[in-house]
Structure 1
Amino acid sequence: MQVIKHIYFILVLILSFAVVNTTPILAANVSGDVLKQAAIETPVSLGNAANELKFEPNTLEFTAGKRYNLRLTNPSQLKHYFTAKDFADGIWTQKVEAGKVEIKGAIHEVELKPGATAEWVFVPLKPGKYSLRCTVPGHAEAGMTGEITVSN
C-alpha cells in the first residue's frame, strides 16, 4: 500500500509540473514574430454615460495567435469589472496599461473606476467560447454580461 501511495504522489507531482509549465512554453512560442505584429485595436465600453449596465459590444471575437489591444473605457458613474477568468487563463498577456502604470504577467480581472481607461495587450492561445461579466453585485444579473469567442 505504501508503494502505491508513493507512485500516486510521484504521478501527481509530474502532472502538476507539466500543467504549470504549459503557459511559459506557449508564451515562448508567442514571443517571436507575434510581438512584431501591430496589435489589433478592440474597444470595449464598460457601461455608458446613461449608467446602463452593459458591455458595448457584449460579444468579442478574437483569433488565436494574433496580437490584440483591448481598450477598456468606463464612461459611467459606477465602477465595473471586466471579468473573464477562463478566457484570461487561455491567453498570454503582454501587459495591462492604465495611466502611467504598466502591469505584466497573468491578469484575470480588470476593475475600472468611473471615467477610467485601460489597455490590455494580449495574444489568445486557446480557442473556445468564454463568458464575460461584471462582478460588482447586481451588475451581471442586470445584464452586464457578454461572450468572448476565440477561433483558430
Structure 2
Amino acid sequence: MKEKIVGLLFTVLLSCCLMNVSDTLAATETTDVTVSLGNEGGELVFVPNHLEFVAGKKYKIKLDNPSPTKHYFTSKDFADASWTQKVEAAKVEVKGAIHELELKPSAEAEWVLVPMKPGTYELHCSIPGHAEAGMVGDIVILSE
C-alpha cells in the first residue's frame, strides 16, 4: 500500500513538473511581426500602421525600409512599457533601453521584446515632415 501511495505521489509530482516546463517553454516562444517603414514608391507610411501585442508575450519585430529615404521607428512610450531583450542589425546586437530605431534605405533590423504595460501608444517617424505627411500609427498592448 505504501509503495502505491509513493508511486502515486511521484506521478503527481512529475506531472506538475512537466506542466511547469511546458509553461516555461510557451513563455519563451517568439511571435514574429513585420513592419515596413515606407515603401518602394517613397510613400511616407508604416505598413502596417496598427500593431497589437499581448502583455507578457515575447515578440520579434522585423523592421525593414524598402524606401529610398531613411526613416525612424519612434515610440518612446511603447518602448518604456516593454522589456527589450535586444535589437539586432547588420550583425550588431544592441541591448538596453531603446526608444527609436533609424533605418537607412534597404536596412533591416530585429527588435526582440516583451510588452509589459497595457495601453495604446503613438508610433511615428521623427524626421521633420514625415509624421505630418502620414507616417504615423499606433501600438496597442492588450492585457494577458
TM range (shorter): 0.7 to 0.9
Q: Which amino acid letter does the alignment assign opposite residue 114 of structure 1? A: P
Work out whether residues 54 and 141 of structure 2, in 8 Å CA contact, stay in contact via their aligned partners in 1: yes
Residue 122 in 1 paired to residue 113 in 2? yes
Aligned residues: 121
Shift of 1:33: 3.4
Q: Between the two proteins, what is the percent identity of the paired residues?
A: 61
Contact in 2 for aligned 1:34/1:67 (Cα 8 Å):
no
Question: Once superposed, which parts of structure 1, at least 4 consecutive aligned residues long, lie more than 6 Å away?
Answer: none
**Equivalent residue, structure 1, for 2:8:** none
Query: Which amino acid counterpart does residue 117 of structure 1 have in structure 2?
Result: E
Structure 1 unpaired stretches of 5+: 1-31
User: Structure 1 residues 112, 149: CA separation in 2 closer, same or farther (over 3 Å shift)?
Assistant: same
C-alpha contact 1:35 1:67 (8 A) present in aligned 2? no
Q: Which residue of 1 aligns with 2:65?
A: 74
Report the structure number with the largest CA radius of gyration.
2
Match of 1:49 among 40, 45, 56: 40
Stretches of structure 2 that go unaligned for 5 or more consecutive residues are 1-22
Q: Tell me the residue number matched to 1:151.
A: 142
Q: CA deviation at 1:34?
A: 7.3
CA RMSD in angstroms comes to 1.5
Match of 1:14 in 2: none
Residue 39 of structure 1 deviates from its aligned partner by 1.1
One-letter amino acid of the counterpart of residue 143, structure 1: G
Partner of 2:104: 113
